[in-house]
Amino acid sequence: MEGLVLGFMYALIALGYTMVYGVLEFINFAHSEIFIIGAFVGVEVLLLLQASGDLAAWQPVLLVLFVLAGGMLLSGLSALGLERIAYRPLRGAPRLVPLISAIGASFFLQDFIRLVESLWRNTFYLTYPTIGFLEKPIPLATNLDVPVKSFLVIATALAMLLGLYFLVNRTRMGTAIRAVAQDPETAALMGINVNRMIGLTFFVGGAMGGAAGVLFGLHYSLINPYSGFIPGLKAFTAAVLGGIGNLPGAVLGGLVLGLMEAMAASYLSIFTGGTFGAEYKDVFAFAVLILILIFRPRGLMGEAVREGA
Amino acid sequence: MKTAWTLAVLAYVILTSLLARRFPQSVLALLAFEASLLVVYLAPLARRTRMLLAALVCVFLLPWLGVANPYFLEIAIQVGIFAALALGLNIVVGLAGLLNLGFVAFYAIGAYLWAIFGSPQANAFLAGGYFPLGPGWFFPFLVLAIAVGGCTGLMLGLPVLRVRGDYLAIVTLGFAEVVRALLNNLDKPINFTNGPRGITPIERPALFFAPALELLGVRVDAGVLYPLYFYFIVLLLVCAIVVVTRRLEESAVGRAWKAIREDEIAAACMGVPVVRMKLLAFAVGAAFASAIGTVFAAKQVFINPESFTFMESIGVLAMVIVGGMGSVAGALFGATALTILNLQLLKGLSLWLNSVRQSGRVISLPFLGDYDLSQIPAQFEPAKYERMVFGLILILMMIFRPEGLLTPRKKRADGRAAAGN
Amino acid sequence: MEEPLLEIEGLTKRFGGLVALSDVHLRLRSRTIAALIGPNGAGKTTLFNILAGLYRPDHGEIRFGGRSLVGLKPHEIVAAGVARTFQNIRLFGHMTALENVLIGMHAHLDEGFWDIVARRRAFSRAESESEARAIELIRRVGLDGQERRAARELSYGEQRRLELARALAAKPRLLLLDEPTAGMSSAESHSLMRLLQELVQDSVETLFIIEHNMRMVLGIAETVAVLDYGQKIAEGSPDEIVNHPRVIEAYLGRREWKPYA
């Protein structure tokens, strides 16, 4: 169960990496911070409601939807702004140039969030207020109680994924995005506003990340500006695992990685007779990342790419 | 004309060093002195004069100031350590064009190599109580670290260099995180690294010259002796690295690296064994980082995994980029500028803000009304926002000056020659 | 018949569903200039890329001086004696002309790592000898005095000639030239033709040239092979090729819808 929750979370974040990569062939290194911005928006909304005493009055489902919408909007806008400021001027530069800029953006945003929160609340370690409804256990089987929040993560993630699938495959906008991903120049000739579509890709990817951020916060409660980095790296692993640029692949990769990680966390110590415990689950995830990148960079579902000479 | 320049630069160097000696607390005086190497580099001087002046600054003036103000030596040592790292990364990123985001891992390997055997730590897994090894073992371990670093670089490079540029960045980042996780967790089942608690006390190198000093009748205060000693070790190491880098740069190997950076496929088609050359770049860079790691461990006496985070890798990358990728002088400049920015300016600004805060003065701002300075939030400390500063530097450099602030001398000379034709 | 320098047998290469080369056979003798022509997309550059080791063929065999080249790395192929130029000039733009030519010598430049670091005499000698030879090559292609200029600052025609010098630096027995006169004025291509003819006399055994400029092909090539849709449709002397019905069809048959081919 824990694995599924993790998996859907990774899947949502991985979509942001994979969408941007699909269109620009560029690793948006700062996506992990876009994700954590969502988590911070969520906590701020909830804390403000708590301070005004309205938190208990809200219907829990509406509350969650409202918080999610807030996180998605702000994360999406941040991603949009990031693209405008740090990436767009570098389009067409050698591959490593925008990547370095993205790394810079990632670092900048981490401390920027810290700065804002420090000035505003005088601390940057924040805790989500408890919402009683989300903690309610649902008995799935004997000895297995799963809190509502775990279902919430899975349900929301599924809804988002369906929505995104619909957007990309069934709307004119989605067709335009796919056209830009295939061949930006031809798409421009066909009258598609390439810049707008790239911006849109960032917005949608960022919003997915933001939603994941809110869910992350609701599920694990404790957040700080640096807690996006590791999940971000793992989500990138998931995106590569599924074949970068491939949307269903990102979801599959996220689920596979989440399940593997949860298994590693619980069984590693059993298999090794207690020698290696759960603290190696990060090592495990990175080892997967390294091995995948080296031996199967096209991922599980990636297509063969023809190399230009 | 040349003589006039020489005299002017000499005057600047001596004047600023006198100022810095006279006002040891003045940040500005220190900065002016620190800029003297840049002045020496930029002034139109003959190569020989330039070398002599640089030697004057590094070998005499700086230690002379450091004796008066050990903090100054501390900064110089830090600059030297980062310069060595930046020079190592410059070979990998700047010359061969391979973005290595896990460079700090090699630094960590060198540091832990000496930390484990140069402290009682190794007794935890090797019986016999031979450890710590004596101070005399430091220099053999420095050599060993070069070999171990180079081999680790080869071992990592062998599988990793098959992947494409941007993936390489992520793989190396993953590698560094794995190394750090291992350092954090290898305190059980067998205690190799002592985990997050770190290792201490680490032996410092032997003062083999102490009898000679005594013989000469020179007496140096013990509090200054070790910083001075480390300063000269770092200085020598950096000089050695510069010489090796320069020689490689001007050989078939350096040309092959640059060719790979410019166009890998064309390089292969011209007979450059691409994989072998990339491996060599990885190994040489790693060897430099590992060597300076041992010095770092000995200087700090205490190390733990927190010194080897991703932030360090990015800091070194920023140094290489600020100075200009692929240039030795650029790497030195970037390392100096950013270390000073980080250690002196940001910390200085933090201290200043603190004092302002404590003064409790109230200033009146136009339109905003009165502002009580003690109200500046305590969380607002520039020194804690190095990620923000370094991140901003990376973005701005990429957008406005991807070739670095210090354009290589050769390019300028070329430009002049081309303009003269 | 004497042993051919290059022997290609049954060479086939597919990219996904596209058959770029299909069962191509070809033999090149020593001391000749051979041309490879064909409409755009016929597979000419793919053939060069396979010869240079950038692609691995799906089927077929390539023998060069009696030795198989299939499966060798690009740099091993250079060391074996095959060098090339590129259709869309691929010089190392930020490096000087001299450095570009020195890169071409890499396969023959035996500089050990420790020789370099210690700056031993062996290194200094190798370096100065190769530099002298590089300058000689630069002079040979007519770029005297341009040694210290960055490659990207040279004019288009100069860049083509520098690329030739760089390829020559590898001391190839077989030199592959991909559209060497593209973008050159007729005076420039004329002097290049003369240079190529001299090269076959004294330094390169065989030249294999992809060319669209038919006057050049007819002027210097002794044999011509024609590719169309990845298949060799004709081979022979220039006169035979010009009158070959399938060649005429391949070129003229498309004129209606691809006038610039």
Question: Which ipTM value was assigned to this complex?
Answer: 0.90
Residue A15 and residue A7 in contact, taking contact as beta carbons nearer than 8 Å: no
Residues near C199 by Cβ (< 8 Å), separated by ≥ 6?
Answer: C168, C175, C207
Q: Mean pLDDT over residues A223-240, rounded? A: 89
Q: What is the pLDDT of residue B298?
A: 93
Q: Does A296 touch chain B if contact means CB atoms closer than 8 Å?
A: no
Q: Do A304 and C55 touch (CB under 8 A)?
A: no
Residue A307 has pLDDT above 50, yes or no: no
Q: What is the pLDDT of residue A275?
A: 59
Q: What is the pLDDT of residue B69?
A: 82
Q: What is the pLDDT of residue A124?
A: 84
If pLDDT is split at 50, 70 and 90, which confidence band does C58 have? very high
Q: Does A189 touch chain B if contact means CB atoms closer than 8 Å?
A: no
B60 token code pair? 């005499």
Residue B95 and residue B332 in contact, taking contact as beta carbons nearer than 8 Å: no
What's the rounded Cα separation, in Å, for the pair B233 and B298? 11
- Condensed to tens digits (0 to 9), the pLDDT of residues B185-206 reads 888 778 888 888 888 889 888 8
Residue C104 and residue B270 in contact, taking contact as beta carbons nearer than 8 Å: yes
Least CB–CB distance from B272: residue in C91, C106, C116 = C106
What's the rounded Cα separation, in Å, for the pair B123 and B61? 43
Chain A residue with the nearest C-alpha to that of C18 = A306
Q: Which residues of A49-71 are buried (b: 16+ CB within 10 A; e: fewer)?
A: beeeeebeeeeeeebbebbbbbb
Q: Which chains touch C (3 or more CB pairs under 8 A)?
A: A, B
Chain A residue with the nearest C-alpha to that of B385 = A111
From chain C, pick out residues whose CB is under 8 angstroms from the CB of A304: 16
Q: Does C66 touch chain A if contact means CB atoms closer than 8 Å?
A: no
Q: What is the pLDDT of residue B416?
A: 38
Element containing residue C25 per DSSP (H, E)? strand C18-28
C174 token code pair? 């077989």
Q: Do C16 and A309 touch (CB under 8 A)?
A: no
With a cut of 50, which residues of chain B have pLDDT below it?
409, 412-421
Q: What is the pLDDT of residue B365?
A: 66
Residues near B414 by Cβ (< 8 Å), separated by ≥ 6?
Answer: C148, C149, C150
Q: Mean pLDDT over residues C37-42, rounded? A: 86
Q: CB count, 10 Å around CB of B408?
A: 17
Residue C123 and residue C46 in contact, taking contact as beta carbons nearer than 8 Å: no
Residue C49 has pLDDT above 60, yes or no: yes
What's the rounded Cα separation, in Å, for the pair B148 and B146? 6
Residue B258 and residue B90 in contact, taking contact as beta carbons nearer than 8 Å: no
Q: Does C9 touch chain B if contact means CB atoms closer than 8 Å?
A: no
Tell me how close the Cα of A300 comes to any Cα of chain C, in angstroms.
18
Q: Does A270 touch chain C if contact means CB atoms closer than 8 Å?
A: no
Tell me how close the Cα of B251 comes to any Cα of chain A, in angstroms.
26
SS3 state of residue C27: strand
Residue A116 has pLDDT above 60, yes or no: yes
Q: Does B379 touch chain A if contact means CB atoms closer than 8 Å?
A: yes
From chain A, pick out residues whose CB is under 8 angstroms from the CB of C15: 306
Chain B residue with the nearest C-alpha to that of C52 = B269
Tell me how close the Cα of B274 comes to any Cα of chain C, in angstroms.
8
Give C15's strand partners. C18
If pLDDT is split at 50, 70 and 90, which confidence band does A302 have? low
Q: What is the pLDDT of residue C255?
A: 47
Backbone φ/ψ region at C41: left (φ over 0), alpha (ψ -120 to 50), beta: left
From chain C, pick out residues whose CB is under 8 angstroms from the CB of A306: 15-16
- Condensed to tens digits (0 to 9), the pLDDT of residues C149-163 reads 999 999 988 999 999
Q: Mean pLDDT over residues A252-265, rounded? A: 86
Tell me how close the Cα of A145 comes to any Cα of chain C, in angstroms.
51
User: Which of B398, B400, B401 would you mutate first to test chain A, the one with the most A CBs within 10 A?
Assistant: B398
Chain B residue with the nearest C-alpha to that of A122 = B379
- Condensed to tens digits (0 to 9), the pLDDT of residues A8-28 reads 999 999 999 999 988 888 899
From chain C, pick out residues whose CB is under 8 angstroms from the CB of B271: 74-75, 78-79, 83, 103-108, 170
Chain-centroid distance, C-alpha C48 = 8
What's the rounded Cα separation, in Å, for the pair C138 and C161? 9
Q: Mean pLDDT over residues C181-188, rounded? A: 86
| Lowest-confidence region among A134-138, B39-43, B258-262, C35-39 | A134-138
B252 token code pair? 């078939």
Q: Which residues of B93-116 are buried (b: 16+ CB within 10 A; e: fewer)?
A: bbbbbbbbbbbbbbbbbbbbbbbb
- Global pTM exceeds 0.95: no
Q: What is the pLDDT of residue B353?
A: 80
From chain A, pick out residues whose CB is under 8 angstroms from the CB of C18: none
Q: Do B394 and A107 touch (CB under 8 A)?
A: yes
Tell me how close the Cα of C140 comes to any Cα of chain B, in angstroms.
19
Query: A residues 152-171 near B, CB within 8 Å?
Result: none
Q: Does C15 touch chain A if contact means CB atoms closer than 8 Å?
A: yes
Give A138's strand partners. A146
Q: What is the pLDDT of residue B413?
A: 43
- Condensed to tens digits (0 to 9), the pLDDT of residues C165-180 reads 999 999 999 999 999 9
